[in-house]
Protein backbone atom coordinates (compact mmCIF):
# COMPACT_ATOMS: atom_id res chain seq x y z
CA UNK A 1 0.00 0.00 0.00
CA UNK A 2 1.09 3.57 -0.61
CA UNK A 3 2.74 5.48 2.18
CA UNK A 4 1.94 9.00 0.97
CA UNK A 5 -0.33 10.33 -1.80
CA UNK A 6 -0.18 13.79 -3.35
CA UNK A 7 -3.54 15.15 -4.55
CA UNK A 8 -3.04 17.15 -7.74
CA UNK A 9 -6.30 19.05 -7.44
CA UNK A 10 -8.31 21.44 -5.28
CA UNK A 11 -11.75 21.96 -3.74
CA UNK A 12 -14.18 19.25 -2.80
CA UNK A 13 -12.53 16.47 -4.83
CA UNK A 14 -9.18 17.08 -3.13
CA UNK A 15 -10.93 16.88 0.23
CA UNK A 16 -12.76 13.73 -0.89
CA UNK A 17 -9.46 12.01 -1.71
CA UNK A 18 -7.98 13.12 1.62
CA UNK A 19 -10.92 11.51 3.44
CA UNK A 20 -10.36 8.20 1.64
CA UNK A 21 -6.64 8.30 2.38
CA UNK A 22 -7.20 8.99 6.08
CA UNK A 23 -9.46 5.94 6.33
CA UNK A 24 -6.79 3.83 4.63
CA UNK A 25 -4.04 5.14 6.91
CA UNK A 26 -2.22 6.92 4.07
CA UNK A 27 -0.57 10.30 4.57
CA UNK A 28 -1.52 13.07 2.16
CA UNK A 29 0.08 16.05 0.44
CA UNK A 30 -2.05 18.95 -0.78
CA UNK A 31 -0.90 21.30 -3.50
CA UNK A 32 -2.44 24.73 -3.76
CA UNK A 33 -2.31 27.98 -5.67
CA UNK A 34 -1.90 31.32 -3.93
CA UNK A 35 -5.66 31.83 -4.25
CA UNK A 36 -6.33 28.60 -2.30
CA UNK A 37 -3.96 29.19 0.61
CA UNK A 38 -6.80 29.01 3.15
CA UNK A 39 -8.73 26.17 1.53
CA UNK A 40 -9.85 23.16 3.56
CA UNK A 41 -7.88 20.66 1.51
CA UNK A 42 -4.74 22.55 2.57
CA UNK A 43 -5.81 22.47 6.21
CA UNK A 44 -6.70 18.78 6.39
CA UNK A 45 -3.81 17.30 4.41
CA UNK A 46 -0.77 16.15 6.38
CA UNK A 47 1.47 18.40 4.26
CA UNK A 48 0.84 21.20 1.78
CA UNK A 49 2.95 22.81 -0.93
CA UNK A 50 2.21 26.05 -2.79
CA UNK A 51 2.75 25.43 -6.49
CA UNK A 52 2.15 28.85 -8.02
CA UNK A 53 -0.13 31.83 -8.68
CA UNK A 54 -3.91 31.72 -8.97
CA UNK A 55 -4.01 30.98 -12.68
CA UNK A 56 -4.44 27.24 -13.18
CA UNK A 57 -1.91 27.29 -16.03
CA UNK A 58 0.71 28.38 -13.51
CA UNK A 59 -0.38 26.09 -10.68
CA UNK A 60 -2.79 23.14 -11.04
CA UNK A 61 -1.73 22.57 -14.65
CA UNK A 62 1.97 23.08 -13.92
CA UNK A 63 3.32 19.55 -14.26
CA UNK A 64 6.87 20.43 -13.20
CA UNK A 65 5.66 22.12 -10.01
CA UNK A 66 3.41 19.19 -9.09
CA UNK A 67 6.10 16.58 -9.70
CA UNK A 68 8.59 18.66 -7.69
CA UNK A 69 6.10 18.86 -4.81
CA UNK A 70 5.72 15.08 -4.89
CA UNK A 71 9.47 14.54 -4.88
CA UNK A 72 10.32 16.96 -2.07
CA UNK A 73 7.58 15.53 0.17
CA UNK A 74 8.43 11.91 -0.58
CA UNK A 75 5.04 11.01 -2.05
CA UNK A 76 4.88 7.69 -3.86
CA UNK A 77 1.60 8.22 -5.73
CA UNK A 78 -0.48 11.03 -7.24
CA UNK A 79 -4.27 11.20 -7.38
CA UNK A 80 -5.40 13.68 -10.06
CA UNK A 81 -9.07 13.96 -9.04
CA UNK A 82 -11.14 15.21 -12.00
CA UNK A 83 -10.44 18.09 -14.37
CA UNK A 84 -7.02 19.75 -14.63
CA UNK A 85 -4.52 16.92 -15.38
CA UNK A 86 -6.80 13.95 -14.68
CA UNK A 87 -7.12 12.97 -18.36
CA UNK A 88 -3.71 14.08 -19.55
CA UNK A 89 -1.76 11.03 -20.81
CA UNK A 90 1.51 12.95 -20.81
CA UNK A 91 1.11 13.69 -17.11
CA UNK A 92 0.43 10.01 -16.41
CA UNK A 93 3.60 9.13 -18.34
CA UNK A 94 5.66 11.72 -16.45
CA UNK A 95 4.45 10.20 -13.19
CA UNK A 96 5.60 6.76 -14.33
CA UNK A 97 8.97 8.12 -15.46
CA UNK A 98 9.45 9.73 -12.05
CA UNK A 99 8.48 6.46 -10.30
CA UNK A 100 5.26 7.92 -8.99
CA UNK A 101 2.11 5.80 -9.30
CA UNK A 102 -0.60 7.62 -11.21
CA UNK A 103 -3.92 6.73 -9.56
CA UNK A 104 -5.90 6.37 -12.75
CA UNK A 105 -5.91 4.45 -16.03
CA UNK A 106 -2.85 3.59 -18.09
CA UNK A 107 -1.59 6.41 -20.34
CA UNK A 108 -2.53 4.49 -23.49
CA UNK A 109 -6.14 4.16 -22.30
CA UNK A 110 -6.32 7.87 -21.50
CA UNK A 111 -4.87 8.70 -24.92
CA UNK A 112 -7.28 6.42 -26.78
CA UNK A 113 -10.38 7.73 -25.04
CA UNK A 114 -9.14 11.31 -25.15
CA UNK A 115 -9.41 11.18 -28.93
CA UNK A 116 -13.20 11.04 -29.17
CA UNK A 117 -13.19 10.01 -32.81
CA UNK A 118 -10.67 7.20 -32.27
CA UNK A 119 -12.63 6.08 -29.20
CA UNK A 120 -15.87 5.85 -31.19
CA UNK A 121 -14.15 3.79 -33.85
CA UNK A 122 -12.51 1.42 -31.37
CA UNK A 123 -15.66 0.93 -29.28
CA UNK A 124 -17.66 0.19 -32.44
CA UNK A 125 -15.09 -2.47 -33.35
CA UNK A 126 -15.55 -3.96 -29.88
CA UNK A 127 -19.33 -4.20 -30.14
CA UNK A 128 -20.72 -0.97 -28.69
CA UNK A 129 -23.35 0.80 -30.83
CA UNK A 130 -22.31 4.26 -32.05
CA UNK A 131 -24.14 7.07 -33.84
CA UNK A 132 -23.44 7.59 -37.55
CA UNK A 133 -20.47 9.94 -37.86
CA UNK A 134 -17.20 10.77 -39.58
CA UNK A 135 -13.48 10.70 -39.11
CA UNK A 136 -11.77 14.03 -38.41
CA UNK A 137 -13.06 16.60 -40.90
CA UNK A 138 -10.39 18.16 -43.10
CA UNK A 139 -12.22 20.77 -45.18
CA UNK A 140 -15.51 22.62 -45.38
CA UNK A 141 -16.40 20.77 -48.59
CA UNK A 142 -15.73 17.44 -46.87
CA UNK A 143 -17.96 18.47 -43.95
CA UNK A 144 -20.82 19.48 -46.28
CA UNK A 145 -20.65 16.19 -48.15
CA UNK A 146 -20.52 14.14 -44.94
CA UNK A 147 -23.40 16.05 -43.32
CA UNK A 148 -25.54 15.44 -46.40
CA UNK A 149 -24.85 11.71 -46.17
CA UNK A 150 -25.55 11.53 -42.41
CA UNK A 151 -28.63 13.74 -42.63
CA UNK A 152 -29.32 16.97 -40.76
CA UNK A 153 -29.20 17.91 -37.97
CA UNK A 154 -25.61 16.98 -37.20
CA UNK A 155 -23.30 17.81 -34.31
CA UNK A 156 -19.80 19.22 -34.84
CA UNK A 157 -17.66 17.87 -32.00
CA UNK A 158 -14.08 18.43 -30.86
CA UNK A 159 -12.03 15.27 -31.31
CA UNK A 160 -9.68 16.05 -28.42
CA UNK A 161 -12.08 17.12 -25.68
CA UNK A 162 -15.55 17.23 -24.18
CA UNK A 163 -17.57 19.07 -21.58
CA UNK A 164 -19.56 20.98 -24.19
CA UNK A 165 -16.56 22.83 -25.65
CA UNK A 166 -15.98 22.71 -29.38
CA UNK A 167 -19.54 21.48 -30.00
CA UNK A 168 -22.14 23.03 -32.30
CA UNK A 169 -25.50 21.82 -33.61
CA UNK A 170 -25.90 22.30 -37.36
CA UNK A 171 -29.44 22.17 -38.72
CA UNK A 172 -28.87 23.10 -42.37
CA UNK A 173 -26.08 23.36 -44.97
CA UNK A 174 -26.17 27.16 -44.75
CA UNK A 175 -25.18 27.02 -41.07
CA UNK A 176 -22.35 24.54 -41.46
CA UNK A 177 -19.41 26.71 -42.64
CA UNK A 178 -19.63 29.28 -39.83
CA UNK A 179 -20.45 26.78 -37.08
CA UNK A 180 -17.67 24.46 -38.23
CA UNK A 181 -15.17 27.32 -37.96
CA UNK A 182 -16.51 28.36 -34.56
CA UNK A 183 -16.23 24.81 -33.21
CA UNK A 184 -12.69 24.46 -34.58
CA UNK A 185 -11.61 27.74 -32.99
CA UNK A 186 -13.13 26.79 -29.66
CA UNK A 187 -11.56 23.32 -29.79
CA UNK A 188 -8.14 24.84 -30.49
CA UNK A 189 -8.49 27.28 -27.58
CA UNK A 190 -9.78 24.63 -25.15
CA UNK A 191 -7.77 21.53 -26.07
CA UNK A 192 -4.85 22.70 -28.22
CA UNK A 193 -6.28 20.89 -31.24
CA UNK A 194 -8.73 22.19 -33.84
CA UNK A 195 -9.68 18.68 -34.98
CA UNK A 196 -13.43 18.10 -35.14
CA UNK A 197 -15.74 15.44 -36.52
CA UNK A 198 -19.43 15.17 -37.36
CA UNK A 199 -21.97 12.98 -35.62
CA UNK A 200 -25.69 12.44 -36.10
CA UNK A 201 -27.58 14.73 -33.71
CA UNK A 202 -30.42 13.32 -31.63
CA UNK A 203 -32.71 16.25 -30.86
CA UNK A 204 -34.08 15.15 -27.48
CA UNK A 205 -31.91 12.36 -26.06
CA UNK A 206 -31.25 11.18 -22.57
CA UNK A 207 -27.69 10.99 -21.28
CA UNK A 208 -26.90 7.67 -19.57
CA UNK A 209 -23.51 6.61 -18.25
CA UNK A 210 -22.10 3.39 -16.80
CA UNK A 211 -19.57 3.46 -13.96
CA UNK A 212 -16.75 0.94 -14.40
CA UNK A 213 -13.72 -0.24 -12.45
CA UNK A 214 -10.85 -2.38 -13.64
CA UNK A 215 -7.86 -3.87 -11.83
CA UNK A 216 -4.42 -5.05 -12.94
CA UNK A 217 -5.52 -8.70 -12.73
CA UNK A 218 -7.84 -8.52 -15.74
CA UNK A 219 -11.08 -7.97 -13.85
CA UNK A 220 -13.52 -5.28 -15.01
CA UNK A 221 -16.87 -4.60 -13.33
CA UNK A 222 -19.69 -2.16 -13.89
CA UNK A 223 -21.60 -0.52 -11.05
CA UNK A 224 -24.80 0.30 -12.86
CA UNK A 225 -25.83 3.46 -14.62
CA UNK A 226 -26.37 7.11 -13.81
CA UNK A 227 -28.96 9.39 -15.39
CA UNK A 228 -27.19 12.63 -16.34
CA UNK A 229 -29.78 14.10 -18.68
CA UNK A 230 -30.45 17.37 -16.83
CA UNK A 231 -27.81 19.59 -18.44
CA UNK A 232 -27.03 23.20 -19.24
CA UNK A 233 -24.92 23.76 -22.37
CA UNK A 234 -23.73 20.15 -22.20
CA UNK A 235 -22.68 20.60 -18.56
CA UNK A 236 -24.39 18.28 -16.07
CA UNK A 237 -26.56 19.94 -13.42
CA UNK A 238 -28.31 17.05 -11.63
CA UNK A 239 -27.62 13.32 -11.69
CA UNK A 240 -29.37 10.25 -10.32
CA UNK A 241 -29.01 6.51 -10.10
CA UNK A 242 -30.54 4.31 -11.28
CA UNK A 243 -32.15 5.71 -14.44
CA UNK A 244 -35.92 5.35 -14.80
CA UNK A 245 -35.28 4.37 -18.44
CA UNK A 246 -32.88 1.48 -17.81
CA UNK A 247 -34.37 -1.71 -16.47
CA UNK A 248 -32.54 -4.80 -15.26
CA UNK A 249 -32.46 -6.45 -18.71
CA UNK A 250 -31.03 -3.41 -20.53
CA UNK A 251 -28.55 -2.86 -17.68
CA UNK A 252 -27.26 -6.43 -18.04
CA UNK A 253 -27.12 -6.23 -21.83
CA UNK A 254 -25.24 -2.93 -22.05
CA UNK A 255 -23.14 -3.60 -18.95
CA UNK A 256 -21.85 -6.88 -20.41
CA UNK A 257 -20.91 -5.15 -23.68
CA UNK A 258 -19.07 -2.42 -21.79
CA UNK A 259 -17.14 -4.97 -19.75
CA UNK A 260 -16.10 -6.97 -22.83
CA UNK A 261 -14.90 -3.81 -24.59
CA UNK A 262 -12.88 -2.55 -21.65
CA UNK A 263 -11.31 -5.94 -21.01
CA UNK A 264 -10.21 -5.96 -24.63
CA UNK A 265 -8.29 -2.70 -24.20
CA UNK A 266 -6.88 -3.68 -20.79
CA UNK A 267 -8.64 -0.89 -18.91
CA UNK A 268 -7.63 -0.24 -15.30
CA UNK A 269 -8.98 1.94 -12.49
CA UNK A 270 -12.16 4.05 -12.57
CA UNK A 271 -13.90 5.21 -15.72
CA UNK A 272 -17.29 6.17 -17.07
CA UNK A 273 -18.73 5.02 -20.39
CA UNK A 274 -21.28 7.55 -21.61
CA UNK A 275 -24.23 6.94 -23.93
CA UNK A 276 -27.02 8.85 -25.62
CA UNK A 277 -30.46 7.23 -25.51
CA UNK A 278 -32.94 7.91 -28.31
CA UNK A 279 -36.73 7.92 -28.14
CA UNK A 280 -36.75 4.14 -28.65
CA UNK A 281 -34.53 3.62 -25.59
CA UNK A 282 -31.62 2.55 -27.76
CA UNK A 283 -28.21 3.48 -26.37
CA UNK A 284 -25.33 4.82 -28.50
CA UNK A 285 -21.75 5.16 -27.26
CA UNK A 286 -20.83 8.83 -26.82
CA UNK A 287 -17.45 8.94 -25.09
CA UNK A 288 -15.51 7.62 -22.12
CA UNK A 289 -14.16 9.67 -19.24
CA UNK A 290 -10.99 8.08 -17.88
CA UNK A 291 -11.22 9.39 -14.33
CA UNK A 292 -13.44 9.61 -11.29
CA UNK A 293 -16.57 11.64 -12.12
CA UNK A 294 -18.06 14.61 -10.29
CA UNK A 295 -21.23 12.56 -9.88
CA UNK A 296 -19.59 9.42 -8.46
CA UNK A 297 -21.35 9.83 -5.06
CA UNK A 298 -24.73 8.72 -6.43
CA UNK A 299 -23.17 5.40 -7.42
CA UNK A 300 -21.58 5.13 -3.99
CA UNK A 301 -24.97 5.70 -2.36
CA UNK A 302 -26.76 2.95 -4.30
CA UNK A 303 -23.91 0.41 -4.15
CA UNK A 304 -22.42 1.05 -0.71
CA UNK A 305 -18.93 1.18 -2.24
CA UNK A 306 -16.22 3.82 -1.78
CA UNK A 307 -15.01 4.43 -5.33
CA UNK A 308 -12.04 6.57 -4.34
CA UNK A 309 -10.76 3.92 -1.94
CA UNK A 310 -11.16 1.33 -4.69
CA UNK A 311 -9.19 3.58 -7.06
CA UNK A 312 -6.34 3.65 -4.57
CA UNK A 313 -6.43 -0.10 -3.87
CA UNK A 314 -6.44 -0.95 -7.58
CA UNK A 315 -3.56 1.46 -8.27
CA UNK A 316 -1.61 -0.30 -5.52
CA UNK A 317 -2.00 -3.59 -7.39
CA UNK A 318 -4.77 -5.13 -5.34
CA UNK A 319 -7.62 -7.09 -6.88
CA UNK A 320 -11.12 -5.64 -6.88
CA UNK A 321 -12.98 -7.03 -3.84
CA UNK A 322 -16.18 -7.49 -5.85
CA UNK A 323 -17.74 -10.80 -6.81
CA UNK A 324 -19.03 -11.17 -10.36
CA UNK A 325 -18.98 -8.45 -12.99
CA UNK A 326 -21.70 -6.20 -11.55
CA UNK A 327 -23.25 -5.24 -8.25
CA UNK A 328 -26.89 -4.76 -7.27
CA UNK A 329 -28.29 -1.27 -6.83
CA UNK A 330 -30.15 -0.40 -3.63
CA UNK A 331 -32.71 2.40 -3.53
CA UNK A 332 -32.33 5.66 -5.41
CA UNK A 333 -29.81 8.51 -5.18
CA UNK A 334 -29.83 12.07 -6.55
CA UNK A 335 -27.02 14.62 -6.70
CA UNK A 336 -27.47 18.38 -7.18
CA UNK A 337 -24.41 20.37 -8.21
CA UNK A 338 -24.48 23.58 -6.18
CA UNK A 339 -22.59 26.22 -8.14
CA UNK A 340 -21.60 29.80 -7.37
CA UNK A 341 -23.70 31.37 -10.08
CA UNK A 342 -26.97 33.20 -10.56
CA UNK A 343 -29.84 30.73 -10.93
CA UNK A 344 -31.49 32.79 -13.68
CA UNK A 345 -28.63 34.19 -15.77
CA UNK A 346 -26.01 31.57 -14.80
CA UNK A 347 -23.51 34.40 -14.37
CA UNK A 348 -20.63 33.31 -12.06
CA UNK A 349 -20.76 34.68 -8.52
CA UNK A 350 -17.32 34.78 -6.92
CA UNK A 351 -16.78 36.34 -3.51
CA UNK A 352 -16.88 35.70 0.23
CA UNK A 353 -19.36 33.25 1.73
CA UNK A 354 -20.77 35.11 4.76
CA UNK A 355 -23.10 32.37 5.98
CA UNK A 356 -22.89 28.62 5.49
CA UNK A 357 -25.00 25.78 6.87
CA UNK A 358 -25.20 22.31 5.32
CA UNK A 359 -28.27 20.10 5.68
CA UNK A 360 -28.09 16.75 7.45
CA UNK A 361 -30.34 13.92 8.56
CA UNK A 362 -31.04 10.46 7.22
CA UNK A 363 -29.76 9.79 3.72
CA UNK A 364 -28.15 13.20 3.18
CA UNK A 365 -24.52 13.78 2.17
CA UNK A 366 -22.69 17.01 1.32
CA UNK A 367 -19.32 17.00 -0.43
CA UNK A 368 -17.81 20.48 -0.21
CA UNK A 369 -14.69 22.42 0.66
CA UNK A 370 -16.61 25.64 1.35
CA UNK A 371 -17.19 27.18 4.78
CA UNK A 372 -18.36 30.46 6.31
CA UNK A 373 -15.91 33.29 5.54
CA UNK A 374 -14.23 31.26 2.79
CA UNK A 375 -13.60 32.89 -0.56
CA UNK A 376 -14.92 31.55 -3.86
CA UNK A 377 -12.19 32.65 -6.31
CA UNK A 378 -13.05 33.67 -9.88
CA UNK A 379 -10.29 31.56 -11.42
CA UNK A 380 -11.78 28.06 -11.31
CA UNK A 381 -14.93 26.02 -11.88
CA UNK A 382 -17.98 27.43 -10.09
CA UNK A 383 -18.87 24.17 -8.29
CA UNK A 384 -18.86 24.77 -4.53
CA UNK A 385 -20.80 21.79 -3.18
CA UNK A 386 -22.46 18.54 -4.15
CA UNK A 387 -25.67 17.71 -2.31
CA UNK A 388 -26.45 14.00 -2.48
CA UNK A 389 -29.45 12.16 -1.04
CA UNK A 390 -30.49 8.50 -0.90
CA UNK A 391 -33.96 7.08 -0.49
CA UNK A 392 -35.70 3.75 -0.69
CA UNK A 393 -37.11 4.82 -4.07
CA UNK A 394 -37.06 7.82 -6.43
CA UNK A 395 -40.07 9.49 -4.83
CA UNK A 396 -38.48 9.45 -1.38
CA UNK A 397 -35.16 10.67 -2.82
CA UNK A 398 -36.90 13.63 -4.49
CA UNK A 399 -38.71 14.62 -1.29
CA UNK A 400 -35.50 14.24 0.71
CA UNK A 401 -33.62 16.43 -1.77
CA UNK A 402 -36.36 19.08 -1.60
CA UNK A 403 -36.09 19.43 2.16
CA UNK A 404 -32.28 19.29 2.04
CA UNK A 405 -32.19 22.17 -0.46
CA UNK A 406 -34.49 24.19 1.78
CA UNK A 407 -32.09 23.67 4.69
CA UNK A 408 -28.92 24.49 2.73
CA UNK A 409 -27.85 28.04 3.62
CA UNK A 410 -25.21 29.83 1.55
CA UNK A 411 -25.05 33.60 2.00
CA UNK A 412 -22.86 36.29 0.46
CA UNK A 413 -22.90 34.86 -3.08
CA UNK A 414 -25.54 33.68 -5.52
CA UNK A 415 -25.98 29.93 -5.98
CA UNK A 416 -27.87 27.52 -8.21
CA UNK A 417 -30.06 26.23 -5.34
CA UNK A 418 -33.21 28.01 -6.66
CA UNK A 419 -32.76 26.31 -10.03
CA UNK A 420 -32.61 22.89 -8.40
CA UNK A 421 -35.78 23.66 -6.46
CA UNK A 422 -37.53 24.48 -9.75
CA UNK A 423 -36.33 21.24 -11.31
CA UNK A 424 -37.57 19.11 -8.41
CA UNK A 425 -40.97 20.84 -8.42
CA UNK A 426 -41.50 20.27 -12.15
CA UNK A 427 -44.15 17.59 -12.81
CA UNK A 428 -42.33 16.22 -15.86
CA UNK A 429 -39.13 15.76 -13.87
CA UNK A 430 -41.05 14.01 -11.09
CA UNK A 431 -42.64 11.74 -13.70
CA UNK A 432 -39.25 10.98 -15.28
CA UNK A 433 -40.29 12.60 -18.57
CA UNK A 434 -37.38 14.76 -19.72
CA UNK A 435 -34.51 15.05 -22.18
CA UNK A 436 -31.30 17.06 -22.41
CA UNK A 437 -33.49 19.99 -23.55
CA UNK A 438 -35.37 20.03 -20.24
CA UNK A 439 -33.76 23.21 -18.86
CA UNK A 440 -34.88 25.24 -21.87
CA UNK A 441 -38.23 25.72 -20.12
CA UNK A 442 -36.50 27.72 -17.38
CA UNK A 443 -34.57 30.04 -19.67
CA UNK A 444 -35.80 32.09 -22.63
CA UNK A 445 -32.29 31.96 -24.10
CA UNK A 446 -32.24 28.16 -24.12
CA UNK A 447 -29.72 26.48 -21.85
CA UNK A 448 -30.51 22.81 -22.26
CA UNK A 449 -28.10 20.17 -23.48
Percentage of the chain exceeding pLDDT 70: 98
Task: Identify which has the larger pLDDT, 110 or 446.
Answer: 110
pLDDT of residue 345: 86
The confidence score (pLDDT) of residue 50 equals 98
C-alpha distances in Å from residue 265, one per residue of 112, 124, 126, 262, 323: 10, 13, 9, 5, 21
CATH number at 206-442: 3.30.470.20
With H, G, I as helix, E, B as strand and everything else as coil, classify residue 134.
coil
pLDDT tens digits, 206-227: 999 999 999 999 999 999 999 9
DSSP letters, 71-110, are HHHT--EEE--SSTTTT-HHHHHHHHHTT-EESSS-HHHH
In this prediction, residue 444 carries a pLDDT of 53
**In the chain, what's the furthest Cα-to-Cα distance?**
60
* pLDDT score for 446: 47
pLDDT recorded at residue 116 = 87
Q: What is the pLDDT of residues 167-181, one digit of tens each?
A: 999 999 999 999 999
Domain boundaries, the chain: 4-103, 132-200, 206-442
CB 374 within 8 A of CB 350: no
- Per-residue confidence (pLDDT) for residue 161, from 0 to 100: 75
In 3D space, the residue among 91, 116, 117 whose CA is nearest the CA of residue 104 turns out to be: 91
**How do strand 77-79 and strand 101-102 relate by DSSP bridges?**
parallel
What Cα–Cα distance (Å) separates residue 22 from each residue in 27, 56, 70? Answer: 7, 27, 18
For residues 191 and 61, give the distance between their C-alpha atoms in angstroms, rounded to a whole number. Answer: 13
Is the CB of residue 287 less than 8 Å from the CB of residue 162? yes
Local confidence band at 344 (pLDDT 50, 70, 90 cut-offs): confident
Average pLDDT over residues 124-138: 94
Averaged pLDDT for residues 276-284: 94
pLDDT of residue 233: 82
291 is a catalytic site residue: yes
Q: How many CA atoms lie within 13 A of 394 on its CB side?
A: 13
Q: What is the mean pLDDT of the chain?
A: 95
Residue 113 has pLDDT above 60, yes or no: yes
Query: Which pTM value belongs to this model?
Result: 0.92
Under 8 Å between Cβ of 275 and 244: no
What pLDDT shows up at residue 442?
81
For residue 234, name the pLDDT band (cuts at 50, 70, 90).
Answer: confident
- The CATH architecture of the domain made up of 4-103 is 3-Layer(aba) Sandwich (3.40)
The pLDDT value given to residue 389? 98
Q: Which of 268, 291, 337, 400 is catalytic?
A: 291
The pLDDT score that the predictor gives to residue 448 is 59
For residue 208, what pLDDT is reported? 98
Query: Residue 335 above 50 pLDDT?
Result: yes
pLDDT at 429: 98
**In angstroms, how far is the first alpha carbon of the chain from the final one?**
42
Q: What pLDDT score was predicted for residue 160?
A: 86
What is the pLDDT at residue 447? 53
Q: CA 380 from chain center: how many Å? A: 15
Tell me the mean pLDDT in the region 51-59. Answer: 97
Question: Given 3.30.1490.20, 1.10.10.10, 3.40.1080.10, 3.30.43.10, which CATH number is that of 132-200?
Answer: 3.30.1490.20
Residue 449 pLDDT class (50, 70, 90 cuts): low
pLDDT tens, residue by residue, 348-396: 999 999 999 999 999 999 999 999 999 999 999 999 999 999 999 999 9
Task: Name the band, by pLDDT with cuts 50, 70 and 90, for residue 61.
Answer: very high
Per-residue pLDDT, 225 = 98
Amino acid sequence: MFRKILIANRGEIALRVICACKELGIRTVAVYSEADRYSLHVRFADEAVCIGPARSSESYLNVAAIISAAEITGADAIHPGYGFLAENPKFAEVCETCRLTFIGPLPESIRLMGDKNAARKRMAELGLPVLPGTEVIGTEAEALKAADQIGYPVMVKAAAGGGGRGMRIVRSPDELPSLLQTAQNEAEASFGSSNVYLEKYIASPRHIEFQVLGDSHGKVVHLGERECTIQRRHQKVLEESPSTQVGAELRREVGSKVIRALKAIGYRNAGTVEFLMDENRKLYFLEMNTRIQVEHPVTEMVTGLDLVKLQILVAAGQALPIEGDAIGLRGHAIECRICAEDAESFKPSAGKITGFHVPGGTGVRVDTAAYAESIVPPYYDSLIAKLIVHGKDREEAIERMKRALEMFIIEGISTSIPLHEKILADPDFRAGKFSTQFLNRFSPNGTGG
